[in-house]
Amino acid sequence: MAKLYFKYGAMGSSKTAQALITKFNYEELGMLVWLIKPAVDTRDGQAIVRSRVGLFAEADVISQKANLLDLFLAKDVRPDVIIADEAQFFSPAHIDQLHDIVDNYDTPVLCFGLRTDFRTCFFPGSQRLMEIAESISEIKTVCGCGAKATVNARLDDMGQIITEGEQVVLGGNDRYMAMCHKCWKKRIYAQQKALSETATI
């Protein structure tokens, strides 16, 4: 029986690489894969999913207003599996539509993405996946200290951690760093202390 899967990890945990490898594995078995990505993710071009290790593939771009169930039903040949990259950027309605495909058409859906943003708060799409996915697994990566990284720290141009701002700001290693929660809090405290000491001089 098909399931809705959510495979999440911090920045740099090779989520996209695993999504593309999974696509290859299905296709090697002669199965048709529908690779999708949200329109907000424009980093590698509108219709491309690309990993940091150099893997890439063409994908259908899904707008915020699109209905994934309608798009699925409109296909001349329905896919055997759906793989969604950057799933945190899909709306909760999109996630519900993907689950409808799983339930009504016995088609597995594998979603890869972040669980939380730079403030350690859920993205709406990720929250909905955590609520309704039948299978949830973590793709692990490590902090610079060696502990498991769980925080997607956002950096400014000076390399300082930012804790306020828009939820969605696209970027790579120049803008984000995967950290454990302890190191993240420790670095924020050090920044605040340095700022306070500078202000008293």
pTM of the predicted protein model: 0.90
Q: What is the pLDDT of residue 146?
A: 94
Q: What is the pLDDT of residues 60-73, one digit of tens each?
A: 999 999 999 999 99
Q: What is the pLDDT of residue 49?
A: 86
Q: What is the pLDDT of residue 16?
A: 92
Q: What is the pLDDT of residue 81?
A: 98
Instruction: Give the active site residue among 27, 86, 131, 197.
Output: 86
- Is there a catalytic annotation at residue 134? no
DSSP code string of 41-80? --TT-TTEEE-TTS-EEE-EEE-TT--HHHHHHT-SS--S
Which residues of the chain are modeled with pLDDT < 50?
none
Six-digit token pair at 32? 């048709």
Question: What domains are there in the chain, each with its CATH number?
Answer: 4-199 (3.40.50.300)
